[in-house]
Amino acid sequence: MNNLPLLSFNKAGIYCEKGDFYIDPWKKVNRAVITHAHSDHAREGSKYYMAHKDTVPVLKQRLGPVVTESTEYGKKHSINGVKVSFHPAGHIIGSSQIRIEYKGEVWVVSGDYKLENDNVSQPFEPVKCDVFISETTFGLPIYKWKPQKEVFEEINAWWKKNAEEHKASVLYGYSLGKAQRIIQNIDFQIGPVYTHGAVENINQIFRDGGFPIKPTQSLVSVENKNDFNKSLVIAPPSAEGGKWLKRLGSYSTAMASGWMAVRGMRRRRPVDRGFV
């Protein structure tokens, strides 16, 4: 091993001193290497951002006209003599583990990652390394995930039951990542699928980037209230309780989030159902 650790934590985040760059910094820095565009990983104010090519358009939508360099999986870059490459993390489209190599020593920072293939994100690829820095958001043993297929069967059954009762089904999920997983895996034969604006914007960015996100319709374009009867409406958690819900007539609500595994979180959310 070299004398200095290749990466260390300081006030601004995970820092590579040899290369003079940060990974997902939480403060403004000169050079930020970004694993993915969720707001707890991609923060505004840095001078220069490096990200995967599927992350860059979302990054710009969220942070404004920032200076970016885009890359592809596996491509090696040199930053002040440190080799940097991005590898699939399986969390959302474009999400990356960051591999860093200096004088034969290899470190990997996972970012958020998921081992199960979700049929939307580029599947996780293990990367050989000397040191692995792992994100542990859902690392506690209370988080045990059901296979994805079971979760979507539950969502379809809930939606179908509501449709039979002529109710709209409002499913909350993060607009970047969770929403696309829902859309790609639900049964479109049950009824029409409408999206809140924040979700539709992200869908369109990914479609423009060549990802075949299934056709969805923005809910503002729905003119006849009766069209909502059998529909599934996908909206971000931040839209919960908004005035727009009044347009739907009778409806049932649910939340799709890993946080629904925590009983306290379920109780705090005023939704009818939680899908984990």
By the criterion CB under 5 A, which residues form the site for Zn ion?
38, 112
Nearer to Zn ion, 17 or 135 (CB): 135
Nearer to Zn ion, 101 or 112 (CB): 112
Closest approach, Cβ 38 to Zn ion, in A, equals 4
Q: How far is residue 88's CA from residue 153's CA, in Å, rounded to a whole number?
A: 27
Closest approach, Cβ 136 to Zn ion, in A, equals 13
4 φ, ψ to 5°?
A: -90, 140
Closest approach, Cβ 121 to Zn ion, in A, equals 11
Cα angle 197-72-256, degrees, rounded to a multiple of 5:
35
Where helices occur in the chain by DSSP H, the ranges are 56-63, 148-164, 178-185, 197-208, 263-268
Closest approach, Cβ 116 to Zn ion, in A, equals 15
Nearer to Zn ion, 58 or 170 (CB): 58
Nearer to Zn ion, 38 or 181 (CB): 38
Of 96, 93, 113, nearest in space to 205 by CA: 93
Q: Would you say 158 and 150 are in contact if contact means Cβ atoms under 8 Å apart?
A: no
Of 2, 31, 27, 32, nearest in space to 12 by CA: 27
Nearer to Zn ion, 38 or 52 (CB): 38
What DSSP line would sit under 171-218, residue for residue? EE--TTTHHHHHHHHS-TTSS-EEE-HHHHHHHHHHHHTT--PPP-EE
Nearer to Zn ion, 38 or 269 (CB): 38
Closest approach, Cβ 93 to Zn ion, in A, equals 12
Q: How far is residue 71's CA from residue 103's CA, in Å, rounded to a whole number?
A: 22
Nearer to Zn ion, 20 or 44 (CB): 44
Closest approach, Cβ 75 to Zn ion, in A, equals 22
Closest approach, Cβ 43 to Zn ion, in A, equals 13
Other Cβ atoms within 10 Å of 41 Cβ, number: 21
- Report the run of H or E that residue 50 belongs to, with start and end: strand 48-52
Running DSSP on this structure, what letter comes out for residue 8?
E
